[in-house]
Structure 1
């Protein structure tokens, strides 16, 4: 029973789907672990580390593998080279990869998408969206502090007092809360806003001030916010404007997987920020929370520098890989039937009656099992 760790092909992707320290967790289950050469290089894990941990390193690692794990989806050429019945585990944003999903279906590949793991208590240890958002939120605060040409903390000296930076964070999910916590640890005065009522207490628990706009709250399914009307969005932008104008740094983190990020901040709002101000838009890759932000670039809007996030977790590939690999190992463990003690040999045996397995499966047995993706491929409305 062989599991293969694929080398990432996306430009700028430095993470790896399995780190050496977790190899033993799979070999203990009965897996033989094979790794493509250089797969861990971006996360500072060389091939020798994998060999020392009990894995084999080979350019042919994917050959005869029952399961192939990666961070990003496999490329089309790799998918078409896999035998029917092979399984894959990776992030797989289906809406952006419909042609690839069709190939996975037609090649008889069983594919699991880490972003589709249900947000239920039993699946928390497999929730790669949350683990990677943790990394991204931390990184956002560090970027804001690095770009701001002033102190984050209060400094009182014989030469005078330097006031602390004023930071506003929009969105208080995992990424937003980590951005708040990091900015607070750096000494900034932090205010934050989220459309969900439950977020106010979480914001305050991090030591920040929860901004109350006295608007209707928007709790949605799976812990995400539901979409707002344009009238409410306009009123929200109007009420947020003075908070943003007074901020030295603005960090926006509002996003929902598979959907375009909500536009929270217009260019006109950013133009009211003072000289030297900084905006960090974590959602730039999915459309952006800030008008004018560009993923992977720094642009100027008024007096502010606007940093657009692009694959932000990969900018901290060490911890991001360690967390993601643990998520993958936990999911693979759920789908592995243990052997020994006179029973059958260990085997990869996903139980499609299990809520986690069924929820995260995109293709299996020549069919698209994820209904929204199937409807998108067939051109029918969801």
Structure 2
């Protein structure tokens, strides 16, 4: 018999993405699955129910959740929805079980084999499954567009009959996937762009996108390509130089985030107070507390003439392409254990073993031994 796969309609407020597209539905069918999609699951991402049917999926009925062996989602279902899933089902998505006790308890009560994709090892082999990277790219892009909308100035240099307009000076804090996409987007809009990261090895990446690496004279270079912790004196000097530099910046986009941990505070309230009136800060790290002390998650506030925006779930704002990337990531991960119409978990595969939550019995036994 074919494996029963269910694609959920997202329940989180404002979530527009979907965990499967007609493209990935066809691939799941080719792997021997029977795919059901909840009505309306893809509408906000530009995918009609008919498009799923044309790809070979079936419309999920009321009993689908209780029957599905493999359930695909973007954000975690609420605890009451988890309670309605099949006992021992497999759930794949960005689940963050440790962030909600009720959710974790519901998963364990139903014996759900969960694969929170945010736990996926960041290896070369895992790149095609890396939902954090694919969704961060969209978030970085949207963050710059929000900044451009909020800024009371042009981004590019313009020569007009009324005189020359100087380009905006934009600083991107953090040179991960989101930061690099933000740099590229701000450059396309014609701004003068700088990138700042505590890892000096990011200089080449920033410069390759047309940005200028902001060197504050303090290096956090450590062993093995990882940043070392700065001393109190080094951090104070870095903060002083950054505060001075921000006085001449028009737009700051903060992107520094650490999965599973609060975002590091980089832009202090004093720095915000020292910026020019009309300046804009967009804090992409707002969901985990923000890189800026003035950030209020989900709000746009003004402090001393400086606009500080803390948008949430930016990837969902680009739901069409974000869903396409996310769905491919999910399929590539599922393909590790969905073969010939059956679910078969190879716990010697670190991508499965290290992503599973809680640790599968086989893995837990190996670790205990």
TM-score, normalising length from structure 2?
0.93
CA contact 2:220–2:230 (8 Å) conserved in 1: no
Q: Which residue of 1 aligns with 2:8?
A: 6
Distance 2:108 2:363 in 1: 6
Q: Which residue of 2 aligns with 1:165?
A: 168
Which structure 1 residue ranges, 5 or more long, are not aligned? 339-345, 370-382
Distance 1:213 1:127 in 2: 32
**1:95 shift after superposition:** 3.2
Which structure 2 residue ranges, 5 or more long, are not aligned? 365-369
Pair 87,29 (structure 1): closer, same or farther in 2 beyond 3 Å: same
1:216 is the counterpart of 2:219: yes
**1:315 shift after superposition:** 1.3
Q: Which residue of 2 aligns with 1:261?
A: 263
CA contact 1:94–1:101 (8 Å) conserved in 2: yes
Q: Which residue of 1 aligns with 2:139?
A: 136
How well do the aligned residues superpose, as a CA RMSD in angstroms? Answer: 1.9
Q: Which residue of 1 aligns with 2:22?
A: 20
Q: Which residue of 2 aligns with 1:348?
A: 343
**1:74 shift after superposition:** 1.7
The within-5 A match list for 1:287-366 is 287-338=289-340, 346-363=341-358
Distance 1:40 1:152 in 2: 34
Task: Give the length in aligned residue pairs.
Answer: 361
Any idea what the Cα deviations from partners look like across 1:252-273, whole Å, max 9, x if unmatched?
A: 0000110000000011111222
CA contact 1:218–1:227 (8 Å) conserved in 2: no
The within-5 A match list for 1:1-382 is 1-60=3-62, 61-218=64-221, 225=227, 228=230, 230-338=232-340, 346-363=341-358
CA contact 2:6–2:60 (8 Å) conserved in 1: no
CA contact 1:218–1:228 (8 Å) conserved in 2: no
Any idea what the Cα deviations from partners look like across 1:36-71, whole Å, max 9, x if unmatched?
A: 111112212121111111111123332311100100
CA contact 1:109–1:365 (8 Å) conserved in 2: no
**1:274 shift after superposition:** 1.4
Any idea what the Cα deviations from partners look like across 1:186-218, whole Å, max 9, x if unmatched?
A: 000001110112111111111111011121325
**1:92 shift after superposition:** 1.7
Name the SS of the counterpart of 2:274 in structure 1.
Answer: coil
CA contact 2:76–2:94 (8 Å) conserved in 1: yes
CA contact 1:171–1:254 (8 Å) conserved in 2: yes
Distance 1:358 1:307 in 2: 38
